Amino acid sequence: MVVTYFIFVGLLFFIGLYCLLTSRNLIKLLIGLEIMAKSAVLSFIVAGWARGESFVSQSVVITFIVIEVSIVAVALALVINVFKNTGSLDIRNLAKLKG
Amino acid sequence: MDLLNLILLLMLAGFAMMAVFLKDLLKAAISLAFMSALLAVLLYRLNSPFAAVFELSVVAGLITVLFVSVIAMTKEEEQAKEARWPAYVFPLVLVVFGLIDIRVMQALFANTPQGFGNPEASFGATLWGVRSLDIIGQIAVIFGGVFGVLALLREKPLTVKQKEDAIIAKDGGKEKLW
């Protein structure tokens, strides 16, 4: 049943969101973002599969994966810069940014 | 619903929780990679082999390599201490959210009309024909990512004094510079 897949989509999204809201480590935050992205991928594919239009959903997912990789690469570069400047991956160290 | 798909979904959720709650970042990244691999299998079983190949090669492969290399580059003496309460509160919050999730999803998707798609369509025709403008967007995003990383990781060029200091530090000042 399609509903079961979407229940798991919601659960995965929630796990990723929980990680984003509660973690302090920058890499963990990115992992949370990745989990949310995976739930979005699953949602697209299940929708396409249920409607019998999997080619369109696959095309959208491939575009989404390309965007995801670019975002992760740029975000990890930012993480490296933050680590060089603060010597830590703690997100709370970024709360006192001065211009 | 196929039993194997249900098992895959449960394992996906399990690996997602492991990725969130494991303290070792390397193990968390590997859990994420396992999750991607399982998602690829699920996508293949849901009649989406091309998306599965992309998920397996790009997300499970490339992104994991990126994560592992960044974790290796940013080894800190004192890791950012995570609060303990999220792990204790999580089961309760998960149950509450699960109940709401089941209700909402049943209300939204119980009567989803089944579509039949276009039987004459092919993946190539769809990607390069119907969704051809997406390719331009993808190229733009790839270049955006590449130049974004280059811009963020560039270093200030050394001054002559700094170069001299570096050479002196290297050979202990034995060689004359000029």
SS3 state at A90: strand
pLDDT for res A40 = 94
Q: Which of B74, B90, B110 is the last residue of a domain?
A: B74
- Give a yes or no: residue A92 inside a domain: no
Q: Which of B74, B97, B121 is the last residue of a domain?
A: B74
pLDDT band of residue B105 (cuts 50, 70, 90) is: confident
- Give a yes or no: residue B57 inside a domain: yes
Q: Is residue B100 left, alpha or beta, with left meaning phi > 0 and alpha meaning psi from -120 to 50?
A: alpha
How close B167 gets to chain A, by Cα (Å)? 23
Contact status of B92 with chain A (Cβ, < 8 Å) = no
Contact A61 B54 (CB under 8 A): yes
Residues of A in contact with B149 (CB under 8 A): 73-74, 77
- Give a yes or no: residue B167 inside a domain: yes
Range of the domain at A13: 2-87
Count: domains in chain B: 2
How close B82 gets to chain A, by Cα (Å)? 6
SS3 state at A99: coil
pLDDT for res A68 = 92
- Give a yes or no: residue A94 inside a domain: no
Nearest to B13 among A2, A12, A87 (CB): A12
DSSP, residue by residue, A30-75? HHHHHHHHHHHHHHHHHHHHHHT-HHHHHHHHHHHHHHHHHHHHHH
Q: What is the CATH number of the domain that holds A40?
A: 1.10.287.3510
Predicted confidence (pLDDT) per residue in B38-66, tens digit: 999 999 999 899 999 999 999 999 999 99
pLDDT over threshold 80, residue B80: no
- Give a yes or no: residue A96 inside a domain: no
- Give a yes or no: residue A93 inside a domain: no
ipTM: 0.92
How close A18 gets to chain B, by Cα (Å)? 8
SS3 state at A25: strand
- Give a yes or no: residue A32 inside a domain: yes
- Give a yes or no: residue B81 inside a domain: no
pLDDT band of residue B162 (cuts 50, 70, 90) is: confident
pLDDT for res B164 = 82
- Give a yes or no: residue B112 inside a domain: no
Q: Which of B45, B74, B103 is the last residue of a domain?
A: B74
Residues in chain B: 178
pLDDT over threshold 90, residue A9: yes
Q: What is the pLDDT of chain B when averaged over all its residues?
A: 85
How close A75 gets to chain B, by Cα (Å)? 9
- Give a yes or no: residue B87 inside a domain: no
Q: What share of chain A is helix, strand, coil (3-state, %, to 5)?
A: 85, 0, 10
- Please give the helix or strand (H or E) that residue B46 lies within, else none: none
Contact A56 B131 (CB under 8 A): yes
- Per the CB < 8 A criterion, the answer to whether A47 and B117 are in contact is no
Count: domains in chain A: 1
pLDDT for res B49 = 92
- Give a yes or no: residue B84 inside a domain: no
- Give a yes or no: residue A44 inside a domain: yes
The model's pTM is 0.85
- Give a yes or no: residue A68 inside a domain: yes
Contact B86 A91 (CB under 8 A): no
Most confident of the ranges B22-31, B88-97, B143-152: B22-31
Residue A90: strand pairing partners: A25
Range of the domain at B18: 1-74
- Give a yes or no: residue A39 inside a domain: yes
Chain A: residue whose CA lies nearest to B134: A63
Residues of A in contact with B106 (CB under 8 A): 3
